[in-house]
Amino acid sequence: MKKSKVYFSKEISPQSLIRIYEALGANLPGKIAVKVSTGERGAKGYLKANLIGPLVQKIGGTIVECNTAYDGARNTTEEHLEVAKEHGFTDFAELDIMDSEGEMKLPVKNGKHLKYDLVGKNLANYDSLLNLAHGKGHPMGGFGASLKNQAIGIASRNGKAYIHMCGESKSPEEMIERLTFEDDGRIHDGKTLQKDFIESMAEAAMAVNDYLVKQNIPAVYITVMNAISLLCDCSAEQDDPVMRDLGIVASLDPVANDQAFVDFIWQSDEPGAKELQREIERQEGRHILEYAEELGLGSREYELIEV
């Protein structure tokens, strides 16, 4: 299998973000959706406006999000817009909560768990996609970067519940009622669903990819590996970073891009990196890379090119 190209910058700055985007050589035409987490109220690690603003303005992108399925400050459009404004995202770009007026159903081909993926209806309004992810830990997925941003991030509120419930229900209320956590953090509702959940995320990401390909919508993937905490930007209790900033990776292949992020974590001997490795293993987080590759979403083999 041919290796995918993953570009890498040690420097994390607005200028290096622009340089690594340009290194991809991609042409994002028309109306550009920039999928980035706007961060839960109380979170610390979400990508900050002063870092990503210059790139988003340069390409004329629109920040896109979908409402959350859990109880928090972003599970309604009104509150979500308010938090995004507090976090500075409306200072440099338009913001579109894509499921504010409904959702659309994307088919999942050859899925073990999902029959379809539910995404924000307004995804249909865009001609290209910049998947701009923050690399960090995640309490359910082990880690979050490009694949999670494309799966959970683009899913509507109901779609998020459907992924977490591994295709059994699309009700956020039922998701909250049924899903509890074992002592080790794995999703549980009478049987262990952890691996099924990891695979469901990959299936949802693949469904979005299939839609983009079918509609001739180009996509690029950039992950900023800074403020790397054990918890996600979706958590109001997001902790402080557990390891040093690693840099930025970018690719046209989301699987390769996530694999590079994970490899950087495994190459570190910092105590915090070891802690994050244990959490990723506990959540079976690396399985998303294997399964996404099996689905045909990308390759785990890559060539790292420093910018």
Structural domain including 275 reads 4-100+121-146+218-306
47 domain residue, yes or no: yes
**pLDDT higher than 80, residue 11:** yes
Which among 190, 186, 208 is positioned nearest to 198, based on CA atoms? Answer: 186
Residues in CB range of 123: below 8 A, 6 or more apart: 33, 64, 98, 104, 154, 211
- The reported pLDDT for the residue numbered 230 is 92
pLDDT averaged over the chain? 94
CA dist 245 and 272 (Å) reads: 12
User: Residue 149's closest CA among 43, 68, 36?
Assistant: 36
Angle at 85 between CA 220 and CA 74, to 5 degrees: 80
For the chain, where are the E strands, in sequence order?
A: 4-9, 32-35, 62-65, 95-97, 103-107, 116-120, 128-134, 136-138, 142-144, 180-181, 187-188, 219-225, 247-251, 302-306
pLDDT at 190: 52
| Rounded Cα–Cα distance for residues 262 and 214 (Å) | 29
28 belongs to a structural domain: yes
3-class SS letters over 237-273: CCCCCCCCCCEEEEECCHHHHHHHHHHHHHHCCCHHH
> Helix axis angle, 49-59 relative to 14-23, nearest 10°?
40
Whether residue 252 is contained in a domain is answered as: yes
Q: Which amino acid appears at position 84 of this protein? A: A
Region 45-72: mean pLDDT is 95
pLDDT score recorded for residue 112? 95
Q: Does 181 have pLDDT greater than 80?
A: no
| pLDDT, tens digit, 9 for 90 and up, residues 92-105 | 999 999 999 999 99
* Band of residue 186 on the pLDDT scale cut at 50, 70, 90: low
| Amino acid 182: pLDDT | 55
Do the domain assignments include residue 249?
yes
Rounded Cα gap, residues 300 and 31, in angstroms: 30
- pLDDT tens digits, residue range 235-284? 777 889 999 999 999 999 999 999 999 999 999 999 999 999 999 999 99
CA 2, 210, 233, 291 torsion-angle sign: negative
Domain count of the chain? 1
Q: For residue 163, tell me if it sits in a domain.
A: no
pLDDT for res 71: 77
Please answer whether residues 243 and 268 qualify as being in contact, where contact means their C-beta atoms are separated by less than 8 angstroms.
Answer: yes
- Statement: residue 189 has pLDDT above 60: no
**pLDDT tops 80 at residue 179:** no
Residue from 287, 278, 279 nearest 255 by CA? 287
Least confident range of 50-54, 136-140, 283-287:
136-140
Burial of 93 (0-12, 13-18, 19+ CB in 10 A): buried
293: left (phi over 0), alpha (psi -120 to 50) or beta: alpha
Does residue 196 sit within a domain?
Answer: no
More reliable by pLDDT, 1 or 77: 77
Indicate the residue type of 91.
D
pLDDT higher at 185 or 176: 176
pLDDT per position as a tens digit, 111-146 = 999 999 999 999 999 999 999 999 999 988 999 999
> Cα–chain-centroid distance for residue 258?
10
Contact 170, 162 (CB under 8 A): yes
Residue 236 lies in a domain: yes
Range with the poorest average pLDDT among 153-157, 192-196, 244-248:
192-196
The percentage of the chain sitting over the pLDDT mark of 90, rounded to a whole number, equals: 85
- Quick check: is 201 in a domain? no
Is residue 191 scored above 90 in pLDDT? no
Strand pairing category for 32-35 and 4-9: unpaired
Is residue 231 scored above 90 in pLDDT?
Answer: no
